[in-house]
Amino acid sequence: MFELIGIPPQALFGQLLLGLINGSFYAMLSLGLAIIFGLLNIINFTHGAQYMLGAFVAWMLLNYLGISYWWALFLVPVIVGATGIVIERLLISRLYHLDHLYGLLLTFGIALIMQGVLRNNYGISGLPYSIPPQLAGGQNLGFMFLPNYRGWVVVASLFVCLGTWFVIEKTRLGAYLRAATENPTLVGAFGINVPLMITLTYGFGVALAGFAGVLAAPIYSVNPNMGAELIIVVFAVVVIGGMGSILGAILTGFGLGLVEGLTRVFYPEGSAVVIFVIMAIVLMIKPAGLFGRTA
Amino acid sequence: MHDAALATKPVAATAPLLSVRDLNAWYGESHALHGIDFEVKPGEVVTLLGRNGAGKTTTLKAIMGILGKRTGSVTFEGKETIKLPARSIARQGIAYCPEERGIFSSLSVEENLMLPPQVKPGGMPVERIFELFPNLKERLNSQGTKLSGGEQQMLAIGRILRTGAKTLLLDEPTEGLAPVIIQQIGKTIARLKQEGFTIVLVEQNFRFAATVADRHFVVEQGKVVDHILNDELDANIEKLHAYLGV
């Protein structure tokens, strides 16, 4: 067995894989946050809870209705996205004329309510959700063992992130979105229904969180706090990447997942804080974030 | 009833296309327009002249419905639009080109050009827009805001010609541009007029305005205070100098 700078490759690649998995979730969640912030100017603090809701809805579909993981991958984003649309129409849309802070407080409050309700009904010990049989087992790659499901998570996340990037940067629909992010008044004066775009964009961002929740269900246990723990790191990722940059959110998400994994190999004590240390440094050197546009 | 409808028909043909009556508008708490009145007939080019801060830009924005609050009456093709949101006003066939041009920096020139949706049939084909503004064709893949000021203005006008709207609100299209570009924009406006476009132009530069417009409305402190036919401009030049403070 060979060694790299004194580290057994199994450990190194194992941690890199773990980093890539975490990075997949960082990327999907920070992407949704970046899209929502870009158009709505609201920092969606409900995002973690909506990710958690995605995992719970997948669990409910399986245990109450016998609907499989594969259907859940499709149905959960639709269901969670629809709840997002209701929240935007009934609550968030009333705050657009106020300071950002109110949107932040509102979405934070909604997150606490969602977590509280689910904690009350399902406890905090976590509900099991098993890996779909098609993705059980794993591959021995020689230098490491790759569980199939974890490989699938990375691929699915990459696919969804790049698909979203493509739609936003390369299509007509995306051009509307980018234009409305810059100057919603003028886009409205061209005859485009900007309020509807805002609602659908929020729904889409939330659907991404729901999708990430389904992917997460078999890896992390399904529990009401799963989003609250993750979202703090995701906010740091968004700050590092720069609010409002689509590709920036994706690259920073995967990149910081890897950095975290490497830290766990070389200096395990620092792995829990490395992202926040990077955030502090980036804020000092480039406050708009690595990929952020300065206004 | 039937006879009355018939009787009004010839009148309707010469009726104003755009009629603004007692238009008041606010920026937040600040009352900016205090009863603007003017009319534009089909195929006319009119300008709103006046000093900085007189309310010319605000009038265009208020017609377009992009200010917070407006009262009074703005009828387009006989239809009241004062209660409509901006997007519905645009869909009636009115297009707006803002003073700051509103080119989107995150969109390429081509995306900027193709952004405004068609609101009426018979929009100008892209090839014709390139005939009017050949520079745009060569720079389609550039970032929108990498264009020169003149090219940005051409893009801002070009993209609303695509939409099929035949009534254009142009806010200071010549501002800050070189004389040769101003000439090109003047020619474009003349050509659009020949093709039956109706244009409301906000201008500081009344020498330019005189080359393209049929009539001028003088705006002062949020009101239309005078109305001068372009043919009578020379006779009124002293008065106009006084209004504009030149």
Tell me if A179 and B64 make a contact (CB, 8 A cut-off).
no
Counted across chains A and B, CB pairs separated by less than 8 A come out at: 59
Judged by a CB distance cut-off of 8 A, whether residue A191 touches chain B is yes
pLDDT at B215 over 70: yes
Q: What is the pLDDT of residue B73?
A: 94
Tens-place pLDDT, residues A212-262:
999 999 998 899 999 998 999 999 999 898 876 888 899 999 999 999 999
Please give, rounded to a whole number of angstroms, the shortest distance from the CA of A178 to a CA of chain B.
6
| Mean pLDDT value across chain A | 91
List the beta strands (DSSP E) in B54-166.
69-76, 79-80, 94-97
pLDDT at A145 (0 to 100): 84
Geometric angle at alpha carbon B85, from B83 and B88, rounded to 5°: 105
Whose tokens are 């158009």? That residue is A39
Report how far apart, in Å, the C-alpha atoms of A163 and of each of A166, A168, B89, B117 are. Answer: 5, 9, 34, 24
- Mean pLDDT calculated for residue range A136-152: 87
B41: tokens are 């007939």
**Three-class secondary structure of residue B108 per DSSP:** strand
Share of chain A above pLDDT 90, in %: 69
CATH H-level, domain B44-66+86-244: superfamily: P-loop containing nucleotide triphosphate hydrolases (3.40.50.300)
Q: Find, in chain A, the residue whose alpha carbon is nearest to that of B169.
A: A189
Measure in Å the smallest separation between the Cα of B201 and chain A Cα atoms: 17
Q: Give chain B positions within 8 Å (CB) of A192.
A: 87, 117
Tell me if chain A has a CB within 8 Å of the CB of B35.
no
- H-helix or E-strand containing A277? helix A274-285
| Helices marked H in A66-193 | 69-90, 100-122, 148-170, 172-182, 184-189
How far is A212 from chain B, CA to nearest CA, in Å?
28
Q: What is the pLDDT of residues B59-113, one digit of tens each?
A: 999 999 998 889 999 999 999 999 999 999 999 999 999 999 999 998 999 999 9
A4-32: burial string, b at 16+ Cβ within 10 Å, e else = eeeeeeeebbbbbbbbbbbbbbbbbbbbb
Q: Are A243 and A292 in contact (CB under 8 A)?
A: yes
Which residue matches tokens 């992010």?
A181
For B146-194, the pLDDT digits (tens) are 889 999 999 999 999 999 999 999 999 998 899 999 999 999 999 999 9
Cα B199 to chain centroid distance, Å, stands at: 5
**Subunit contact A175:B115, Cβ cutoff 8 A:** yes
Check A178 against B86: CB less than 8 A apart. no
Is the torsion defined by CA of B180, B186, B190, B192 positive or negative?
A: positive
Nearest to A192 among B87, B102, B106 (CB): B87
pLDDT over 70 at B9, yes or no: no
Rounded mean pLDDT, A48-76: 95
Residue A136 has a pLDDT of 87
Q: So what's the pLDDT on residue A246?
A: 85
Secondary structure element (H or E) that encloses residue B113, with its range: helix B109-114
Q: Chain B 161-180, CB below 8 Å of chain A: which residues?
A: 163
Domain ranges of chain A: 9-95+107-121+146-285
The interface predicted TM-score of the complex, written ipTM, equals 0.88
B30 CA: distance to closest CA in chain A (Å): 17
